[in-house]
Amino acid sequence: MINLTIDGERVEVEKGTSILDAAKKLNINIPTLCHMYMNNGEVRNCKGTCRVCIVEQEGRGKLIPSCSVEATDGMVIKTHSPRVIKTRRTIVELLLSDHPNDCLQCERNGQCELQKIAEDLGIRKNRFQGEISEYPIDDSSNVIVREMDKCILCRRCVTACNEVQKINVLTPVDRGFKSVISTFFNKPLVETNCTYCGQCVAVCPTGALREKRDYDRIWPLLDDKTKHVVVQVAPAVRVALGEEFNIEAGINITAKMVAALKKLGFKGVYDTNFAADMTIMEEATEFIERFTKGENLPLMTSCCPAWVNFVEKEYPENTRFISSCKSPQQIFGAMAKTYLPKKLGVDPKDVVVVSIMPCTAKKYEANREEMGRDGMKDVDIVITTREFSKMLKESGIDLLNLKDADFDNPLGESTGAGSIFGTTGGVMEAALRTAYEWVTGETLENVDVKDVRGLKGIKETTVTLNGKDINIAVASSLGNARKIMDEIKDGKSKYHFVEIMACPGGCINGAGQPYSKCDTEIVKKRMEGIYSVDSHKTIRKSHENPMVKQAYQEFFEKPNSHVAHELLHTK
Ligand code: HC1
Ligand code: SF4
């Protein structure tokens, strides 16, 4: 162990610990703009580029970056000596000298890490003025916007894309003042292998990377009497939205959120969790069919659009393994434009479907060609959890003091199985609860499948159904997905059923959630929140959802029927 002194307090840390992490043990927060951990602490962005975390080492008379220098025995560190503060201010002033001055109009206003550090350091004017970098904005993808004028070269996005997701879309090019984070040959994002997972957006400290803003399009529609505007909310949103309103991560605020959506003027407030139950009906049927015939195994889940995009771009020969089921977002949309109008007696052409998703790639998914019919899209507008919180703030609705409200029906009733879709392992656990009962004809008493829970990147288990072993894998992050796809490519895969989510930890850590820098503690709390939604439900198996049963009786006949195939599957 190593013993050192920081700001007069002694601390003991393991060998290899950085000064920055040693200080954290003493609850001393050294500011930084580039340092971060991702992927459950496995990946670290420690390039020492921003220099904001400098500290003074007594006796050596020099300033050192606390993120990249290891603590050593007997070290005496000062984190806020006059020299440190003066130099830190100069560093931030230099960063600001090549940064647009449009904070008030910036999408990150109030949530920008650079702005916060400048404020914390009391910077009121800048002594440095000179040339300013100017780059064209890349909004080619309609999902993610890149505005490199606002980039501070921290390289967090590069780490997210190349080390966690292993997609290698982003890279630093050129040197000195001309240095910039670029794509391959500086191509627009839409022409790269980008999956729109948005993990680069999730870790960007400034407004340089952000999701396309779509919520402005909702306001006039809510005011249009000829439109029947409905909204669905994804499983992971409800345990993270509170963070935007100073509530602890993981607290489930469904009832307040639904009340707020009704106040905003949506004619129907529905639950993606209901559609997740529908997905299980279709996907469990598909699995049992494929497993019985021994065809196209492993079956791989299809809910995550960044993952589907990844396979299509990088393993096009293996797309047959992906389930043909649409994701819950799209199943909801298809039902809201067919089944729902029939029940409500409205014209499907007047129905507008809005989705609130923890994800950036869902914006891309809704715009895929096959997601709709008769010139109508299944889902018209997708906004992130963050965009939703902005709508609420704009409206002045006092979210936390609203009277609780329930989702509307018939698309609002859900089971515990539908709710756990929001975390890694959830889709698999939900599918197994249903497949078990359908295959064995027995009641599953203990519905918890603990082996597929938790933040480990790849989880494996074997489930025996009617004497047959089913080998299961659950992976989150595209880096881990690649490992599984490479095994399949090499003919070495032993799996029959695989769940993949592109974001580490699943949708709870989606790129549209409140900014958290993928902090493991926050992700864990959101995960606990999701499992608590499940354990508090009286019905915890998708096939027992009464509204799902009704939808099949009234409209879809049975899972994988002709009409189900037309509306709930892709080809
Ligand atoms: Fe997800 Fe899904 S779980 S993909 O993470 O299958 O986005 O929350 O809505 O569609 O249900 C996201 C979350 C979400 C879908 C569901
Ligand atoms: Fe890479 Fe994902 Fe960002 Fe695309 S969205 S650049 S794949 S991290």
Q: What is the CATH number of the domain that holds 82?
A: 3.10.20.740
pLDDT given at position 289: 97
pLDDT given at position 358: 98
197 ligand 2 Cβ < 6 A: yes
Both 512 and 473 in a single domain? yes
Closest residue by Cα to residue 447 from 457, 437, 456, 438: 437
pLDDT given at position 326: 98
Both 401 and 512 in a single domain? yes
As for how many domains the chain has, the answer is 3
Taking only the tens place, the pLDDT of each residue in 227-237 is 999 999 999 99
Both 173 and 322 in a single domain? no
Pocket residue to mutate for ligand 1, from 272, 533, 534, most atoms within 8 A of Cβ: 272
Atom 15 of ligand 1: nearest residue by CA position = 328
Q: How far apart are CA 272 and CA 253, in angstroms?
A: 15
Both 38 and 150 in a single domain? no
Q: Is 365 a catalytic residue?
A: yes
For 114-176, the three-class secondary structure string (H helix, E strand, C coil) is HHHHHHHCCCCCCCCCCCCCCCCCECCCCCEEECHHHCCCCCHHHHHHHHHCCCCCCEEECCH
Closest residue by Cα to residue 247 from 389, 383, 387: 389
Q: Is 283 a catalytic residue?
A: yes
145 ligand 2 Cβ < 6 A: no
Does residue 127 lie within any of the structural domains? Answer: no
Mean pLDDT, residues 394-418? 97
Q: Is 493 a catalytic residue?
A: no
Q: What is the CATH number of the domain that holds 284?
A: 3.40.50.1780
Both 398 and 251 in a single domain? yes
Taking only the tens place, the pLDDT of each residue in 87-138 is 999 999 999 999 999 999 999 999 999 999 999 999 999 999 989 999 999 9
User: What is the distance in A from the centroid of ligand 1 to the CA of 147?
Assistant: 28
Closest residue by Cα to residue 480 from 506, 461, 462, 516: 506
Both 407 and 478 in a single domain? yes
Taking only the tens place, the pLDDT of each residue in 476-516 is 999 999 999 999 999 999 999 999 999 999 999 999 999 99
| From 9, 370, 554, 566, the catalytic residue | 370
Domain end among 97, 123, 155: 97
User: Cis omega before residue 410 (within 30°)?
Assistant: yes
Q: Ligand 1: which residues within 6 Å by Cβ?
A: 234-236, 272, 276, 303-304, 327-329, 357-359, 362, 421-422, 506-507, 510
- Please give the angle made by the CA atoms of 284, 554 and 556, to the nearest 5 degrees: 35
Does residue 423 lie within any of the structural domains? Answer: yes
Does residue 108 lie within any of the structural domains? Answer: no
Both 240 and 187 in a single domain? no
Q: How far apart are CA 242 and CA 514, in angstroms?
A: 9
Is the pLDDT at 559 greater than 90? The verdict is yes
Mean pLDDT rounded to a whole number for the chain? 97
CB-based burial, 446-463: b 16+ in 10 Å, e otherwise: ebbbebbbebbbbbebeb
User: What is the distance in A from the centroid of ligand 1 to the CA of 378?
Assistant: 15
Both 57 and 153 in a single domain? no
Question: For residues 230 and 267, is the Cβ–Cβ distance under 8 A?
Answer: yes
pLDDT given at position 512: 98
User: What is the distance in A from the centroid of ligand 2 to the CA of 199?
Assistant: 6
Q: How far apart are CA 61 and CA 65, in angstroms?
A: 14
Domain with 53 in it = 2-97
Domain end among 212, 242, 260: 212
Q: How far apart are CA 62 and CA 175, in angstroms?
A: 26
Q: Which residues contact 474 (CB under 8 A, 6 or more apart)?
A: 424, 425, 428, 452, 458, 459, 460, 498, 499, 500
196 ligand 2 Cβ < 6 A: yes
Both 285 and 380 in a single domain? yes
Question: For residues 6 and 59, is the Cβ–Cβ distance under 8 A?
Answer: no
Closest residue by Cα to residue 285 from 6, 569, 560: 560
Pocket residue to mutate for ligand 2, from 182, 196, 477, most atoms within 8 A of Cβ: 196
Q: Is 362 a catalytic residue?
A: yes
Task: Note the ipTM here.
Answer: 0.94
Pocket residue to mutate for ligand 2, from 200, 311, 365, 503, most atoms within 8 A of Cβ: 200
pLDDT given at position 191: 98
Atom 4 of ligand 2: nearest residue by CA position = 194
- Judged by DSSP in three states, 93 sits in helix
Does residue 102 lie within any of the structural domains? Answer: no
Both 346 and 313 in a single domain? yes
Give 48's pLDDT tier (boundaries 50, 70, 90): confident
Atom 2 of ligand 2: nearest residue by CA position = 197
Q: Is 507 a catalytic residue?
A: yes
Is the pLDDT at 345 greater than 90? The verdict is yes
Percent of the chain with pLDDT over 70: 100
- Report pTM: 0.97
Give, in order, the Cα–Cα distances in Å from 506 to each of 110, 367, 424, 432, 478.
27, 22, 4, 18, 11
Both 30 and 87 in a single domain? yes
Atom 9 of ligand 1: nearest residue by CA position = 234
Does residue 335 lie within any of the structural domains? Answer: yes
The encoded tokens of residue 451 equal: 């082996």
- Total count of residues recorded for the chain: 571
Both 231 and 208 in a single domain? no
Q: How far apart are CA 247 and CA 532, in angstroms?
A: 17
Q: What is the CATH number of the domain that holds 150?
A: 3.30.70.20
Residue type, 137: I
Residue with tokens 């791989």: 300
> C-alpha 386: how far from its chain's center?
11
Is the pLDDT at 541 greater than 90? The verdict is yes
Is the pLDDT at 29 greater than 90? The verdict is yes
Domain end among 176, 193, 212: 212
Does residue 104 lie within any of the structural domains? Answer: no
Is the pLDDT at 167 greater than 90? The verdict is yes
Does residue 120 lie within any of the structural domains? Answer: no
